[in-house]
Amino acid sequence: MKGPFLTLLLFISFQLQAQLLFEGGGFYQDSPDISAAVDSFNARHPYNLISLDHPVRGYSGSIGYSIPLNKKRSLYLAPHATYRTRTSKLFAEDTVRLDLQEVQIGLQFITGPKAWFSPVAAGPLGTRIFLFVECGVNASRMAVQFTDSAVTSSQNIQSLAPYFQAGIGYRALVFGKHLVVTPRASFTGYYTQRFRYAAKILNNDEVYLKFPKSPLTQAYYVGVEFAWIFNKKK
């Protein structure tokens, strides 16, 4: 399986003059519905000596391509797929585990401010400092496991939400002729990423009405991108 997949990646890179991108990092995201569910659980289970934390910190990894649109103007497209995960656990009188797994498919538009007003002679990834915007779809699944003295429950909750992202990066290090290392930072906004059913699971189907009215969720990300530069075909 690895052989055909690697062959496909190389074929796409050479045919589109694209550079292969790998990225990993961490993010902070406070999903209002999940936080409301956790707060309702903590309020209704005060006998736990410690509280269930909001699952706000997580990790992500992605793979994609940088495809040149106009090198002299430092314009690029970068389709990619991202995997994100975050977890919250409680081991006390009650046992709770929240596991959130997400897959994002998005398209980035990358531009170098230096090339906005005059052409530049940059490398295969454009100018060192660049800005990017991205839009796509986020598919999420949260597994909720809850055990107390009376009941044990385990259910999954799905959510599908569009998102928009904006950020900045800097081509900081080059190793040899092929590897470029780039720190990145970004802000992401999600629309209607809903997990309200989690409150009913954590509270034994009791209704909890204090959900945030805003459908927006924000995430803040920092990470490092590794770009593999392919030699031009002669």
pLDDT above 80 for 223: yes
Instruction: Return the SS3 of 73.
Output: helix
| pLDDT at 224 (0 to 100) | 97
Spatial distance between the Cα atoms of 69 and 57, rounded to a whole number of angstroms: 35
Residue type, 188: T
Do residues 200 and 206 make contact, with C-beta atoms less than 8 angstroms apart?
yes
What confidence tens digit (pLDDT) does each residue in 25-73 have? 999 998 888 888 888 888 888 888 889 899 999 999 999 999 999 888 8
Residue 209 buriedness (CB in 10 A; 0-12 / 13-18 / 19+): exposed
Measure the CA–CA gap between 37 and 122, rounded to whole angstroms: 49
Q: What is the pTM of this model?
A: 0.84
Query: Average pLDDT for residues 88-93, to the nearest whole number?
Result: 86
Q: Does residue 92 register a pLDDT over 90?
A: no
**Domain covering 2-228, topology:** Porin (2.40.160)
Q: Is the backbone of residue 49 left (phi > 0), alpha (psi -120 to 50) or beta?
A: alpha
Mean of the pLDDT values across residues 164-183?
93
Residue 231 confidence class, pLDDT cut points 50, 70, 90:
low
pLDDT at 183: 97
